[in-house]
Amino acid sequence: MAKIKLTKNELKKQKDALKMYKRYLPTLQLKKQQLQTEIRGIEAKAKARAEERERLLAEFRTWIAVFGEEDAVRTDSGEWLLAVREIRTTSGNIAGVEIPVYAGADFELADYDLYLKPLWIDKALDRLKAMLELDLEIKVLQEQIARLARELRITTQRVNLFEKVKIPETAENIKRIRIYLGDQQTAQVVRGKIAKRKVVRAAS
């Protein structure tokens, strides 16, 4: 515990500090709850998107297995026919934390020969695009979780600091100063009475 001055000024300073900690603590606790709720919601959303992606992937693999044309959705060099050109995000704000929000993506389709590719290629490319979109959205959701988790860690540390250190420490300081000042006042009264008796004795 830091050394404190046992004065009236210090008592006022400690009282002001305690008032401030008690005023800010509920706000921090509320922020902590809000962050926890938002993280749970985003995790559920990311899980739902991942499950949807797995369903599409299973469908995609079934088609490839049925038609036996594994390379149909790839170029001659082995790349996907469909590539992500640009990911679009906007900014959102949760409990004072700036987060990216997935707003879509632009895709680039490689040239391919319609006569050489199977008839189901367009459907397959639609599924591939949907899968890529889900991948990108999941990535953005994971970034949201990471940013909110960082803020939650900081907020939790502050809540613990206020609850377990600052408020008890300041309350203890106030108690110590009050006891000391009370003792000083009592001693002063006693000294005053002794001095008065001496004066009375000297006068008689």
- Return d(Cα 43, Cα 149) in angstroms, integer: 11
Residue 2 has pLDDT above 70, yes or no: no
Strand-strand pairing, 97-109 and 82-94: antiparallel
**Mind giving me the DSSP string for 50-110?**
HHHHHHHHHHHHHHHHHHT-TTTTB-TTS-BSEEEEEEEEEEEEETTEEEEEEEEEEEEEP
- Return d(Cα 125, Cα 73) in angstroms, integer: 7
- Return d(Cα 105, Cα 1) in angstroms, integer: 55
Q: Are 81 and 125 in contact (CB under 8 A)?
A: yes
- What does the domain layout of the chain look like in residue ranges? 21-164
pLDDT band at 204 (very low <50, low <70, confident <90, very high): low
**Span 156-170, average pLDDT:** 96
Least-confidence region, from 24-33, 66-75, 151-160: 66-75
Q: For 132-141, how does the pLDDT look when each residue is reduced to its tens digit (9 = 90+)?
A: 999 999 999 9
Q: Is the pTM of this model over 0.95?
A: no
Least-confidence region, from 24-33, 34-43, 71-80, 176-185: 71-80
The pLDDT value recorded for residue 64 is: 63
- Return d(Cα 168, Cα 176) in angstroms, integer: 12
Reported residue count of the chain is 204
Distances (CA, A) of 140 to 32, 49, 76, 105, 137: 22, 12, 31, 12, 5
The pLDDT value recorded for residue 197 is: 74
Residue for token digits 């990911």? Answer: 87
**Span 88-104, average pLDDT:** 95
Q: For 26-63, how does the pLDDT look when each residue is reduced to its tens digit (9 = 90+)?
A: 999 999 999 999 999 999 999 999 999 999 888 877 76
CATH 1.10.287.3240 for the 21-164 domain, yes or no: yes
pLDDT band at 3 (very low <50, low <70, confident <90, very high): confident
Mark out the alpha helices in the chain (DSSP H runs): 8-67, 121-160, 167-203
What does the DSSP 8-state code read for residue 117?
A: S
The pLDDT value recorded for residue 40 is: 97
The pLDDT value recorded for residue 114 is: 67
